[in-house]
Amino acid sequence: MHELVLGLAGRSYPITIGYDFLGSLNKVCPFITGKNVVVISNSTVSDLYLSLVTSSLDKTNSNNLVINLPEGEQEKKLSNVELIVSKMLEKNLDRSTVIIALGGGVIGDIAGFVASVYQRGIDFIQVPTTLLSQVDSSVGGKTGVNHFLGKNMIGSFYQPKAVVIDIKTLNTLNEREFSAGAAEIIKYGCIRDIRFFEWLEENSMSIMSKSLEHLAYAIRKSCEIKSSIVEQDERESGIRAILNFGHTFGHAIESGVGYGNWLHGEAVSSGMVLASRLSQKLDLLKEDEVIRIENLLESMNLPIDSPKLDISTFVNLMKKDKKNKNNRINYILLDGIGNSFVKGFIPEEISEFLAHV
């Protein structure tokens, strides 16, 4: 078992990474002892892991609550937030209640948002069960839901009390979801650490075969890189924006094809290729570097081509991105693999780029 600490003044929290220890959640997170607990999950994850999690809770507490939501990105909506809050209020749960987010990124985002707004804020624990949520969405305190006009447009920065990563849960993850999570791992090498990128090139087959040794290192390294960035810029006013490499294009792809048709990691993969090509267009990235990024993505069964979207629709969707400033669409570009920065473009420049990419 390995523990990192994401250090924030007064709100630091542990990220515990291990194998087959969900049944010991009360030992990893002793602060839940004696508390009312709300587990938010979906039926698939609950069938697999709920009994393990609840086995460590106080069984005499009749106020413990389990809420299973339907699956899919399309369920990240305000109506589900209201549903959860209503069930909690019906139980008369107070501000000492702890929420456990048991599932992937959708569950973590919704549960974290509920925790941030329920009676002005209660504690929550992230227990991510997908690769994408283990290496990205569970760490850093971004919570929220989608709006029909854009992804994650309603949300808050609200840090968990702890992140508990049990790698064994990946044994039941399907190949498509696993690959989608690998996109975020590759992202960290692209934006911050060329040596990690090179390690991924050398070990992609071991990761895809779910070698425990290689998976544990990839997850730990990803969490370390993200934590170091969040510690410098919790609320994304500066350097944290680089964590959105591929996401300006990616979020527009998700929205444009309809939430749930492309997984988040698949859209980010395609978005990273487009951002790499945009970097190449500005002579920041060499052709062979773009090809290396594409090859690494393909080695983990990720798409490198974009869906067929009308250019004006694509650009209009990106105009709604939260990172935009002064009527410019902001993208994360690479100045060589391992170095990244933010650059804004007027919409017409992006339309011209997409017409020729």
Q: Which of 35, 187, 247, 292 is catalytic?
A: 247
Spatial CB neighbours of 127, under 8 Å, sequence gap ≥ 6: 22, 25, 53, 100, 101, 102, 103, 164, 166
Q: Which of 75, 177, 236, 294 is catalytic?
A: 236
For residue 139 the two structure tokens come to 């760490």
For residue 207 the two structure tokens come to 């990761």
236 is catalytic: yes
261 is catalytic: no
Q: What is the DSSP letter of 73?
A: G
240 is catalytic: yes
DSSP 33-50: TTS-EEEEEEHHHIIIII
Q: Which amino acid is at 203?
A: N
Q: Which of 59, 120, 325, 356 is catalytic?
A: 120
251 is catalytic: yes
CA gap 153, 238 in Å, rounded: 19
Q: Which of 35, 244, 254, 292 is catalytic?
A: 244
352 is catalytic: no
Beta bridge partners of 344: 330
Q: Which of 184, 234, 289, 294 is catalytic?
A: 184
95 is catalytic: no
Q: Which of 35, 76, 142, 192 is catalytic?
A: 142
Q: Which of 76, 187, 264, 292 is catalytic?
A: 264
CA gap 134, 128 in Å, rounded: 5
Q: Which of 221, 240, 277, 323 is catalytic?
A: 240
Is 37:100 a contact under the CB 8 Å cutoff?
yes
How far, CA to CA in Å, does 108 sit from each of 194, 276, 333? 29, 29, 28
214 is catalytic: no
CA gap 292, 290 in Å, rounded: 5
Query: Of 35, 34, 22, 18, nearest to 99 (Cα)?
Result: 35
Is 86:79 a contact under the CB 8 Å cutoff?
no
Q: Which of 151, 221, 251, 323 is catalytic?
A: 251
For residue 57 the two structure tokens come to 């809770």
146 is catalytic: no
Q: Which amino acid is at 204?
A: S
Is 197:190 a contact under the CB 8 Å cutoff?
yes
Active-site residues, by number, are 120, 142, 184, 226, 236, 240, 244, 247, 251, 264
